[in-house]
Structures are given as C-alpha cells and as structure tokens.
Amino acid sequence: MRAIQYAAPRSLGDAVAILQERGNKARILAGGTDLIVQVGEDARDVDVMVDGKHIPELMELSFDPEKGLTLGAAVPCYRIYEHPEIKKHYPGLVDSTSIIGGTGIQGRASVGGNLCNSGPAADSIPTLIAYGATVRIVGANGERTVPVENFCTAPGRNVLAADELLISIHLPAPSAHSGACYLRFIPRNEMDIAVVGAGVSITLDDNGIVTAARVALAAVAPTPLFVPEAGDSLVGKAPTEEAIAAAAEIAKNTARPISDMRGTAEHRKHLVGVLTRRALHRALERARA
Amino acid sequence: MTTETKYRVIGTRPVRPDGVDKVTGRAIYGADVVLPRMAHGKVLRSPHAHARILSVDTTQAEALAGVLAVICGRDMPAVSGMAAAGEGGDMNMRYASNNVMAHDKALYEGHAVAAVVATSPHIAKEALKLIKVEYEVLPPVIDVRKAMEPNAPILLEDLRTDTGGVKSETASNIAAHLIAEEGDIEKGFADAAVVVEREFTFQTVHQGYIEPHACAAEWRADGQITVWASTQGSFAVRQQCAAILQHPIGQLKVIPTEIGGGFGGKIPVYLEPIAAVLSRKAQRPVRMVMDRTEVLMATGPTPGAYIKVKMGADKNGNITAAQGYLAYEAGAYPDSFIGAGMTCLFAPYNLKNVRIDGFDVVVNKPSSTAYRAPGAPIAEFASETVLDEIAETLGIDRLAIRAQNSAKEGDWRPFGPPYTRIGHQECVAAAQASAHWNTPLVREGKDGKKRGRGVASGYWGNWDGISSCIGRLNPNGTVSLLEGSTDIGGSRASIAMQFAEAFGVTYEQVHPAVVDTDTVDYNDVTGGSRTTFGTGYAVYKLAKKMQGEIVGQLAGLWDVPAESITIDGSSYSSNGHSATITQLAKLFEENGIHINASITAKGSNLSGAFATHIVDVEVDEETGKVDIVRYTAIQDAGTAIHPSYVEGQMQGGVAQGIGWALSEGYVYDSEGHLKNATLLDYRMPTSLDVPPIETIIVEVPNPTHPYGVRGVGEVPIVPPCAAIANAIHDATGLRLRDLPMSPSRVWEALEKQ
C-alpha cells in the first residue's frame, strides 16, 4: 500500500532542502483544507507533505503602522479576522477570510494556502490584489518578491518553482481615507464557491477626490483578474454614482468568464458589474468613516 | 393547534428513545459496524454514461498484496422474476441485479462494473485502478423527450412499451404509457371561460440523506448470510438479496442499523449483494461504505421530467377540465413513480373532466428511486402554478379558488376508489385564518429587493402495508415492544405512544426496539408515510391482544368470569378485585405466567394527507437571487401523535423543497457525465437558506385508523416548489416553469421580461 511521508521542518532552509530533494512530489502543507482533499481525490500526486506550521516566518502575523501587515503563509483565517489591527485597518481582508469555508475550515485554512492553491475563484486573492499586496518567496537561489497580481499563472498554477515556497504576504500600510471591500456572489448564503467575486480598494484625498483605486475579480478568468483600468478610471474624480458605475462597467467588459455548473458566462459578466459597483460603494463608506 | 384531550399519551411530546445514543455518538450506523476479521470492499464504476462492457481483466488487481478477491458481472448469479420491494410495487429483479452490478452494459456514469475486497479500504481503492475494463462507448440519451424519439439510442434491447397491458412490437425507451380518464375534457374545455396550458421541465435531484450508503455482510461456510444494513426496510433488503443472490430467503438474516436519513432512497439495495458475494469469495465479513460522489452518481435520484398541464375554469373560477402530459425519467431501468405523479397531479381538487397521460422513460442516468412523495412535487408544481395563473386572470383570491374547487369525501381520483374523509378544505381554511396570511406583505425588501407571497396545496397518499410486532410484559410492569419497521423519523416514539395509549400504560413504561428479520415477523418498508399509521395500527391491535391475555389469566387467578373484568387505563377490576398493570406483572411472575403476544396486521387505508403552504420571498432583481423570508406550512395530520415530530417532518419537507426549488439539480454534459457529484456543487440549502418555518397542524381524523392517524412525512415536500414559484411571480411578474429557479435562470427571465 502506498504511503505519503510527512515532514515538519523547523526552518526555511530545512524546508527548501526537502523541496530541492523531492521536487514536484513535495507540497507545502498549511491548513491542508485544499491539499489533503486533493490528494484524497487523486487530484494531486504527492509523496511528501512538508508542514509549514513549525517554521516561525510562516506563522508570523504582525502589523506596523509604517510598514504595514505581514501575514505568514500558514496563518489560519480565524487569527486574521479576529486580529484587532486587521479589523481596524484591513476590513477587506476580514470580508474574505470570514467567508472561506465554514467556521471549522477557518480554524485551519490560510490565506497563503488559498494563494498557492491558485484557484480562479479564490476568495482572498482579489482582496490581496486590491490592497496592492506582495509576496515573499524563498528557494534554493535565495529570496524574491512578487506582486500578488503576477503570482497566479493558470488554474492551480503559479510562479513558484519546484524548490520554492511562499514565506509571507505583505500588505502596505493603510493610507488615510482609504477603504476596501470584497463581495462574492453565491447561489446560497453560506458554504459556497464564488460564482463571481470582486475585491476593491479606494483612497480619497482630504477633499474627497479619488487618489487611488484598485479592482480585482474572482471566477471570471483562468486566474484572479486584476483590472487596473477600472480603478484608474476613478482617479482624479469625485466618487459619484456615475463614476462608480462607469468603473464597474469597465470591470464587466474586461471579465472573460466561462459557462459551467456554477453559472453562465452572461450571468457572470453581468454580476461583475453589479458586485464591483456594490463593493466600491461599500469601500467608499469605509474610506469616509 | 393541539390534539384533543381525550387521550392520555397521544398529543404529548416525550423524549425519543433513540435520542441519547444519537446525541452522544453511541448510535451504530451502517459504517460503524465492526466484525472480527472484517475486510473492506470498494466498487469500480463506469466512467461512461452508456457503454457495452467488452471485457473485464481482474488479474493485476488480484495480484496486489492485501487484495482478497475481485468480482464483476460474471460473478453475479443470473436472475429473473419479480420481488416485492416497497411502495413502488414489484421490482424486476434482473434489472435490480444489473443495477447493483452491470453485466453486459453500463447505463450511467457511476454504474458498478466490478468490486474489490481487501484487508484495508485503501488497498481496495488502489486495486480498483488495476482492473482493466474494455468498453465500447455508445451514444447516451439523458433527456426524457430525446429518449422518447423513435431514433433515440436504445438502453434496454428487451424493453417494450406497455400501454394498458399491450406491449409494443419494437424496443423502446418508453417502459409504460399510463392513462387516467374521467368525464369529457372536450366539453370541459369548451365550457371554460379561461384556459391556461403550460410546459415545464424538471431537473434530476437527489434525496441528500446525511449518511452515505453503508453495509456489512457475512456469508458463512454453512450458507447462512447475515447482512447489516442502513435501510428503510430490512425485509425488503432480505427479499432483494435473496433474489439477486439466488439464495434461500430463510438463510438470510438482515440486521438493521440506525439510519441517517433515507427519504425513499434507502429502499433499493446497492452494496449489500456485492458485499455478500465478496464475503463468500474472501471467506471474511466485508464492510462497504460509499463516499458522497458515489452516492450522487449511483444512488437515488428522483426523476427529471417534462410536464404539460392544461386547465380550464368558468368565469367564477370553477375548474371545468384538466389535462396533463407527464414524461418522467426513470433513469437506467424502468419505474419512475409516474403513477404516483399522475395520482397527485390534480389531487387537491374535485374534477369532473380529466385526462392524464403518463410516460415512464429510461435514460442514461442513475436508476431513479423514491424521494419523499415520489413524483408529486413536480406534478403539483405544474398544476398549482397553472391554477395560480387562472386565479390571477379571473381576479380571484388564490386561497379562495383552492377552497371552492377543493376535493372532499366521495370525489373521484385517478387509479383509486373515491376519497374517504380528507382535510384539504380544512388546510385552506387554516391558511386563510393564519397569522402569516393576515399579515400584509411589505413589498419593498432590503436594498430595493422585491418581495412577493405565494401559496400552493399538495397531496400525498398513505400506504397501508403490513406491519408485525411483538410485545412482552416484563415483571416490573414495563413492556418490551419489538418492531420491524426501521425508524427514519421518530417512529419508535410515535409507535410506543400509541401502544401506551392502547395498553393503558405510560410512555416511559414502553421500551421499543427495532429488531432483525429473524426476531420479528414480516414488515413492509418504512415508506409511503405508512409507519406511524400502519405499525401504529398493528401495536393498537397488539395491545388489545395482550389485554385479552391478561384478562384470560386474571379470570383464572381471581376465579371470576372473564367477561366480568373491566379495564380502565392500567387498572383491571372485577368483583372486589382490583390491580394495576404493575401489580399484575408481579402477580403473574409469582405464578409463573408470562404475557406475550405477536401480531401481523394490514391496515386498510384509502385516505391521505393534504398540505397548504404560504411563503414570502425576496428577489434581488440585479443578481437573480431569491431568499425565503417567511414560511408557513399547514398540514392535515389526522391526529398528531407526537406534535413536535409532526412539526419536524413538516419543516424538513419544506427545507428539502426549498433546495429543489432554488438550488439543487444534477448538471450533465453532452456525453452524460455528471458535472456536480459533490456537495460543493450539488447545492443543498444550508441553515442560512432556510428561515424558521412556522407550522400549523390541522387534525381531521383519518376514519380508517383507531386514533385517526394520517401519514405526515411526505406531503410537506409537495407544495414548496410551486408556492415559491408563485411567490416569485408575485414579487417580479415572472412565471418560471423550469426548476431550479437558480439566480442565472431568474436573471435571464428578468432580462427577457
């Protein structure tokens, strides 16, 4: 009978050494809420699971008003949405982490894992893109930094090489008068996968004029989709109903969804417009609060 | 409403006897059975929806360390004939055998083609990959109307269409064409001021029981077979296994475990015969457990369908004629409960001029089976939405049109004698008087969402069937009550309550247990809303029989004529003698007397149960999403034995109906592959999708039962789909005629509006 090995390295170096030795047959284990299910369903061929939860850098969760938020790759969702500074400064991240799975799943599932699983419908990735987050990666050749919008390359695929692992995610320090929001559409009210998701952020100056805005979408392309034109269309303008509707229309026209058992392409495209508009209004309320 | 106080036990709400074991995790379900030297079985399933099996090579799998045996179709006995298997009537056992393990053809994706037994489930699963099956892939047909076309791919070469006993000359996917007729529909439609004719399509849905199918079997060297099964009918499992295994029925014992939901889906056998054959080959007991994907692919589901309904009414709203065309997808093998669908189609109404044509059609989907009021929810979706449209056209109140046309005692119904005393009118009257109906609807919801209110009625019959049980008076005055009806919804409590009422003891003095097929006499399955009705009738007769035995023994001990002994509750008296059951139990023990009795009873039931539901929905017109904001279920329970469990059945039926209406449904690609065989994408409602459901129990006693019981388990799933569609219409103006009414469908319809 076939057995799968389990390794629990205590340092980044030890983890990289295992990845180097075992190549594609090794996978980093964070919460395991995707990985263990995929292995059980024969969807991933894994010889060794490398538990990241004993590596201090992967479990770091710290906020600095100057530097921003550092989110270790294996930190589970519940620690994120219960964190007082995150609740105050990154409500969009609370939106995402509190709807991934149910309460039990949130006790294990991590944002790093959500990112590395690289599903087009991942609920945390549009939010990270909206916040302008970057990721810190380490491998045999040392460290590198990648913006989240460049991380995923195809469904289930990303820029990590076989010998690399994700250390942490960094969200910039919050600007004054800024707000963000993530909304997803699901046919039910809980425990579902996004038919469409929209993560947005918006920053205003003292006069209420938009100085920056970012829009990213889930489940409407092979990867989470960053739509810079949608956010840019708001910059320099007052965030009126019309300006927000125009930005939402750009997002809608950029989306390139497919029809599947979760929804039709036409409905998904339409929902992008609705959700982007609603998310921008909610983000604006937060920016003004 | 509460039950009249003429009863001591009936109408109270005691704790269920199986409750503590269930909430503490001690209850033994199918997958909890552990036997010495037990091995583990797994099934290899067809990846094709329609394929001829050319060869199966098991040699590599058999060579894997830990594998004890491998079987495929050729290891199953050749089977013919019919066997009684439940409320659906007799089963063609060759089809049943072929469904358990495909012989020459795989007829749906997930159809079992081979099975492995190994020392661990993991080894068994690995061994499945080593079985080589050669298929000739055939074109599938997964839609009922396409399957009925003359040039459609044929699933079963021997199948002929049965029209009133006359068989067609050539092979067809149409297994049967049933006709129900009364009066003159031509005249009826000519007399109508308004005629509405509409077409509907329905998706395949699954019962969605929590517990996946699981069983264990041991085939001993002496030919005795014991099966542990999570089932709605241990005797049905025994009959089906005996037929499929071609084994003497007396050498088969079935031990029912606790059951984690069935809803009709745990009447057919799937794993049990395979486990038995594997056990014989491995010479070990074998346990088999399905995973959720296997459950969705290979068990259940309820038929998808195409329905056309035409109804006419005069200007006062009196229905003048009604016509129905129902084509149901039986799945891989015949029997889609088309007759039940036809019976229920117009059941709440008194109709003089009717014609209903029903077609039972095989398609390349899992063989359909019963699901809570099988055939009824979709049939009544069609008739109840058409009636709603007639009411709207004529400007008649929606409950008023249902009241004025209501069926009552003596009225005609398809395939059966006229109705006895029924309670549809009373349900509609209770709906009209309800707090919900009398609370004005606030049409504006949150964030500009639109609200609407809908109503619908529904019917489901009661099956009488046969029930047997045994009662023993213990020396302390308690009674051991042995039943053969498996308990899927609180029937141990409701049956013990009826026994206590009839025998004159307290509920706590009765200790009910569900026992195996060797211990108690024959029982039909727990299905057809029959157990509280039919087994309740049996324990009533059992109590009277035990009282008779007590009187007989007392006459001797007290030396009085038996006729002089009077019974008042638990007290027996005659000529200055008087004693309670508890005192008598002690007296009997001291005198070496044991009171025990067994009974086999068949109720006689021509009645049934009606329900009327009211629902308020909220529609987000921008996204197409529908939320249920208020729900009231009104139902005639005859007499509510345990009102909490009646309410629980009503609420459970509504919850499943909400899923059927809004989110559930099998999604197939053009090759007949099921695309959503997981609970992530087969969307059953969560707790956040189902609001608190208000219940109103109406009690119009059933004249054919000593306590007036009507079955309550099935009818509450009948009205929800139609009531929700009528509410969506009230909110948006849309008439939706395809289920599920998913956000995509609602949005697309709004775009076209």
Strands B571-574 and B354-362: unpaired
Indicate which CATH number applies to the domain containing A60: 3.30.465.10
Copy the structure tokens of residue B315.
């200007």
Q: Which domains does chain B have, with CATH numbers?
A: 19-26+464-602 (3.30.365.10), 38-138+210-261+266-298 (3.90.1170.50), 305-462+605-752 (3.30.365.10)
For residue B459, pLDDT over 90 is answered with: yes
Q: Give residue B1's pLDDT.
A: 41
Measured between CA atoms, how close is B614 to chain A, in angstroms? Answer: 21
Q: Give residue A151's pLDDT.
A: 98
Stretch B610-627: mean pLDDT: 98
Res. A41 pLDDT band, cuts 50 70 90: confident
Inter-chain touch B624–A267, beta carbons under 8 Å: yes
Q: Please check whether residue B22 touches A, CB under 8 A.
A: no
- DSSP notation for B538-596: HHHHHHHHHHHHHHHHHHHHHTS-GGG-EEETTEEEETTEEEEHHHHHHHHHHTT---E
d(CA B249, CA A241): 75
Interface with B, mutate which of A267, A276, A282 (most B CBs under 10 A): A267
Strands B571-574 and B566-568: antiparallel
Nearest to A2 among B126, B680, B742 (CB): B126
Whether residues A139 and A210 share a domain: the answer is no
CA dihedral of B526, B532, B535, B538, whole degrees rounded to 10: -170
Stretch B589-613: mean pLDDT: 92
Cβ neighbors of A198 (< 8 A, separation 6 or more) are A126, A182, A183, A184, A215, A216, A217, A218, A251, A272, A275, A276, A278, A279
Stretch B190-210: mean pLDDT: 98
Q: Give residue B88's pLDDT.
A: 52
Stretch B509-521: mean pLDDT: 98
d(CA B347, CA B427): 14
Cβ neighbors of B602 (< 8 A, separation 6 or more) are B464, B465, B466, B467, B534
Phi, psi of B579, rounded to the nearest 5 degrees: -155, 150
Q: Name the DSSP letter for residue B535.
A: I
**In chain A, how many domains are there?**
3
Q: Name the DSSP letter for residue B168.
A: P
Whether residues A196 and A158 share a domain: the answer is no
Q: Please check whether residue B667 touches A, CB under 8 A.
A: yes
Res. A246 pLDDT band, cuts 50 70 90: very high
Q: For B87-117, b where at least 16 C-beta lie within 10 A, e where not — what string? A: bbeebbbbbbbbbbbbbebbbbbbbbbbbbb
Look-up of token digits 């002496």: B222
Whether residues A196 and A246 share a domain: the answer is yes
End-to-end Cα distance, chain A = 59
Q: Taking CA atoms, what residue in B is nearest to A196?
A: B623
pLDDT, tens digit, 9 for 90 and up, residues B283-301: 999 999 999 999 999 999 9
Stretch B78-100: mean pLDDT: 78
d(CA A5, CA A3): 7
For residue B113, pLDDT over 90 is answered with: yes
The larger pLDDT score, comparing residue B607 to residue B180, is at B180
d(CA A72, CA A110): 9
Q: Are B191 and B204 in contact (CB under 8 A)?
A: no
pLDDT, mean over chain A: 96
Strands B305-313 and B319-331: antiparallel
Q: How many CB pairs under 8 A join A and B?
A: 57
Report ipTM for this prediction: 0.95
Three-state secondary structure call for residue B335? coil
Whether residues A74 and A104 share a domain: the answer is yes
Q: Give residue B268's pLDDT.
A: 95
Q: Give residue A55's pLDDT.
A: 98
* Cα distances (Å, whole numbers) of residue A104 to A21, A35, A79, A101, A109: 34, 16, 13, 8, 9
d(CA B741, CA B208): 19
Q: Give residue B5's pLDDT.
A: 67
Inter-chain touch B689–A266, beta carbons under 8 Å: no
d(CA A228, CA B421): 70
Res. B10 pLDDT band, cuts 50 70 90: very high
Stretch A110-131: mean pLDDT: 98
Res. A2 pLDDT band, cuts 50 70 90: confident
Cut 0.90: pTM above it: yes
End-to-end Cα distance, chain B = 43
Listed residues A16, A36, A51: the one ending a domain: A51
* Cα distances (Å, whole numbers) of residue B261 to B211, B418, B488: 6, 33, 6
Three-state secondary structure call for residue B450? strand
* Cα distances (Å, whole numbers) of residue B260 to A131, B209, B257, B419, B653: 46, 7, 10, 34, 16
For residue A82, pLDDT over 50 is answered with: yes
Spatial CA neighbour of B386 closest among B198, B565, B164: B198
Whether residues A30 and A108 share a domain: the answer is no
Whether residues A164 and A196 share a domain: the answer is no
d(CA B525, CA B506): 28
pLDDT, tens digit, 9 for 90 and up, residues B48-86: 999 999 999 999 999 999 999 999 999 999 988 776 655
Three-state secondary structure call for residue B444? strand
Q: Please check whether residue B210 touches A, CB under 8 A.
A: no
Interface of B with A in 688-707 (CB under 8 A): 688-689
Q: Taking CA atoms, what residue in A is nearest to B683?
A: A188
Whether residues A60 and A167 share a domain: the answer is yes
Three-state secondary structure call for residue B464? coil
Question: B34 forms bridges with which residues in the sheet?
Answer: none
Residues of chain B neighbouring A267 (CB-CB closer than 8 A): 624, 743-744, 747-748
- DSSP notation for B71-86: EEGGGSPP--SEEE-S
Q: Around Cβ B600, how many Cβ atoms within 10 Å?
A: 16
Q: Give residue A1's pLDDT.
A: 67
Measured between CA atoms, how close is B464 to chain A, in angstroms? Answer: 39
pLDDT, tens digit, 9 for 90 and up, residues B342-393: 999 999 999 999 999 999 999 999 999 999 999 999 999 999 999 999 999 9
| Domain carrying residue A113 | 56-171
For residue B2, pLDDT over 50 is answered with: no
Inter-chain touch B623–A274, beta carbons under 8 Å: yes
If you count DSSP H runs as helices and E runs as strands, how many of each does chain B have, helices first?
A: 19, 30
Stretch A150-173: mean pLDDT: 97
Nearest to A188 among B122, B663, B747 (CB): B663
Q: Please check whether residue A259 touches B, CB under 8 A.
A: no
Whether residues A64 and A43 share a domain: the answer is no
d(CA B433, CA B207): 33
Whether residues A70 and A40 share a domain: the answer is no
Listed residues A138, A171, A204: the one ending a domain: A171
Q: Please check whether residue A2 touches B, CB under 8 A.
A: yes
- DSSP notation for chain A: ----EEE--SSHHHHHHHHHHHGGGEEEESS-TTHHHHHHTTSS--SEEEEGGGSGGGG-EEEETTTEEEEETT-BHHHHHT-HHHHHH-HHHHHHHTTSS-HHHHTT-BHHHHHHHT-TT-SSHHHHHHTT-EEEEEETTEEEEEEGGGTEEETTEES--TT-EEEEEEEPPPPTTEEEEEEEE-SSSSS---SEEEEEEEEE-TTS-EEEEEEEEESSSSS-EE-HHHHHTTTTS---HHHHHHHHHHHHHH-----BTTB-HHHHHHHHHHHHHHHHHHHHHHHH-
Listed residues A171, A195, A220: the one ending a domain: A171
Indicate which CATH number applies to the domain containing A282: 3.30.390.50
Whether residues A121 and A214 share a domain: the answer is no
Question: Cα–Cα–Cα angle for B634, B637, B638, nearest 5°?
Answer: 130
Whether residues A130 and A183 share a domain: the answer is no
CA dihedral of B337, B339, B340, B343, whole degrees rounded to 10: 160
For residue A221, pLDDT over 80 is answered with: yes
Q: Please check whether residue B623 touches A, CB under 8 A.
A: yes
Q: Around Cβ A34, how many Cβ atoms within 10 Å?
A: 20
Indicate which CATH number applies to the domain containing A15: 3.30.43
Instruction: Give helix A265-288 / helix B743-752 axis angle, nearest 10°.
Output: 100
Inter-chain touch B681–A185, beta carbons under 8 Å: no
Q: What is the 3-state secondary structure (H, E, C) of A138-149?
A: EECCEEEEEEHH
Whether residues A258 and A281 share a domain: the answer is yes
d(CA B98, CA A81): 53
Q: Are B204 and B301 in contact (CB under 8 A)?
A: yes
Residues of chain A neighbouring B743 (CB-CB closer than 8 A): 185, 187, 195, 263, 267
Q: Give residue B3's pLDDT.
A: 45
Cβ neighbors of B298 (< 8 A, separation 6 or more) are B43, B45, B108, B110, B111, B112, B270, B290, B366
